[in-house]
Structure 1
Amino acid sequence: MHPQIEDVYNKSVGILALIGIINFLLLSYFNKTLGIGIFYGALIFLATFFLCYIINYKFIENSDVYLFLLSSLLVELGLIMLCRINPELYKKQVVFYVIGAFLFILSTIMTNYFIKRVKNPLLFWLITFVFLLLPILFGVERGGAKNWIYIKGLFSFQPSEIAKLFFVFYLSSNLKEGKIKNMSKFILEIFLIIVLLILAKDLGGAMLFYLTALMLIFIATSRYDYAFLGILFGIFLGLAGFHSFPYIRARVLAWLDPWQDVPGRGYQIAQSLFAIAQGGFFGTGLGLGHPEYIPAVATDFIFSAFTEEFGFLGGQALIILYFLLVYRGVRISLRSIDSYLSLVSIGLTVFFGLQVFTIIGGVIKLIPITGVTLPFMSYGGSSMIISFTSLGILNGVWISSREEEGIG
């Protein structure tokens, strides 16, 4: 690697470590009750980061190191906010990061040995279907959606997060030749996936799956008629959902005018807007905001809490970090010679980008709130682990592309 590029990597690692040390020191200064546990958590995070960074940088040739750097910085900022909001959730999130970081390395290596070789659309569709069916049969309702599986005494997870990966594999394996062989079968299979998400009352998930399918179809086929019909059908589904499901209607009405019923349906978005406004341009300062007033602040509304304490500038910095991750994903897709791997890369990137847009757009009242989490920052093991696995696959595709180009 060129010495100047290597110097940039090393400086980026140093900045990431410095940000964590300064912020955790500030937290311990303003909140003496946090105790020494936060430093152990911070040390575990930094040790995991440095170990996985060294493996990725030194031992995996041609790796896109910035994928791991950017995502780890987002995790670090999320951990800082979680430590501020709920120290117990912070400790669990550190464990999720450790698992996710090593799965990033594993999925990078496995891309060549599994993902690159297995291209069976029926298998991928069946796995997606089963994972989305599980919460309907055995799941519990949480936040209005029945999309969680609880294994008593052990852990809970969100099957739809795992289903995202296999749904992208399914779409990519079907579209790798740039056309749809059996249109009626393809539409029916996608429709059944969306129906399962609607039955689970997972509005955000249904929207993400549908839009990802629509965008991937257009990218693969370049057919404007498919895109136009897909948009029309999406509008129809949205209107049907508004008139058929009270919880969807309540969210849309709260989005249109939260001030009509602030103590009721408009409470979440109103508190989010108050927090963002309170932060102003530079923020109230770490530890000086009031995240306790924001509902679901550790999951759906962590961006609001972050913007309150770090201000408009901090919020924009976060958006830029997410934009850079999306850019890396698009770049990897464009560099891939294999059409299947290229579609897998852009599919995972589209899923990621839509999720970021949906949650940030929801908390700033750009679009209705859908209940999805902010990748790498919001509390949640399923989201953290699958997000890192997705980035590992992108990294594996990048390595494969570089090898095909003869760059060693």
Structure 2
Amino acid sequence: MPLKKAIMPQWRFNMKRIYEPWNIGTMKLKNHTFMAPMSLGYESQDGCINEKMEAFWLTRAKNEVGCIIMDATSVDPKVPYLGNTLCFRDQSSIERFKTFTDKIHETGCKIIPQITHPGPESISSFFGIPPMAPSVYLNSMAQKTRELKKEELPGIIHQYATASKQAKEAGFDGIELHCAHAYMLLGSFLSPLRNKRTDEYGGSLLNRARLLFEVIDAIKKECGQDFPIILRMSGSERDPQGNTLEDMKRLIPYLEEHGIDCFEISGGTQYERCNKIIPCHSESEFTNLFEAREIKKIAKVPVITVGKILDPQLMADVIERNEIDGVVLGRSLLADEAFVKKAMKEQYDDIAPCTGCGIGCVGEQTKRHPASCVINPRAGREEELVWNKTADPKNILIAGGGI
């Protein structure tokens, strides 16, 4: 059975709108596709861009991705997320990032970093520094966190504003703020699963969102209203004690008032529902579409979504129906760097589909190895494996993929 019949619907979707130009705030995008931040472990030890990362993202940019959301970028170089976390360490690193963003822009693609404070997810404990959090609990690595004092928060807010200003100086087109999955600093402050504070930064939904509001305000003050902010958030934490879809819908007007230019809807938490963050083959496609649709109904700014988006015809259809405004592709672009370009040309049979196995992307990272992909041997090795089209093509059947 041909691949198209096996994994693709047979009806025709309208493919037009997804590949048309549009705006997020002042950022003009050539189409409605994004590449997700995945923290693949390609970073240099100094937290800056290197040839491996540049080749990886540049390859996707050249293949018609509309906007790349760069991996988690720590606002504090002393508080890394992973071993080699991206950060704007000094003026020299900003200049190196500027050279990189210039190359991305030459392709017509936009690029933004995911700005975050790792907080409870920092590996600082390996250096004898307890990871900081809204409250005391065991983090995702079973390490005890330290509750942040109220007087420490203004300094962290300033770090967010400074990192965002550095991103602007480095030529990025905006930023994404990470506030999802009861994870990292802002996400853990927002979630009742992690935030047990009794001061004005804990308790009610708006109190738990107070730090997020103050961070947004500081970034807008430092970078200006014309520097877009995309907010990554869980549409629902899918936990009886966590934030619900109704909670998030209640927050939307406040976040828009503070200056958020776009919402990226993810779902679940890093702790109780990690399978919703990185959906495996047992999870349905478009994992977070329901929550994104509901938020789209009330939001005044664009809404995009992430989570096991594999079918190029289906993703085009939800955009055409105005159910959401953009799709954020992660592993689909690991498995096939030309996913978007092939979809634009309706070359569906030529797309190498992600199977959701998680072996190379997630599995290698759990071993502290750079990510790979069992479908695409070029992933992370774009500067090494350069394939040229043969002058003498043959028809070859590959029986079994070796997974």
Give the TM-score, by structure 1 length. 0.33
Structure with a larger share of its residues in helix: 1
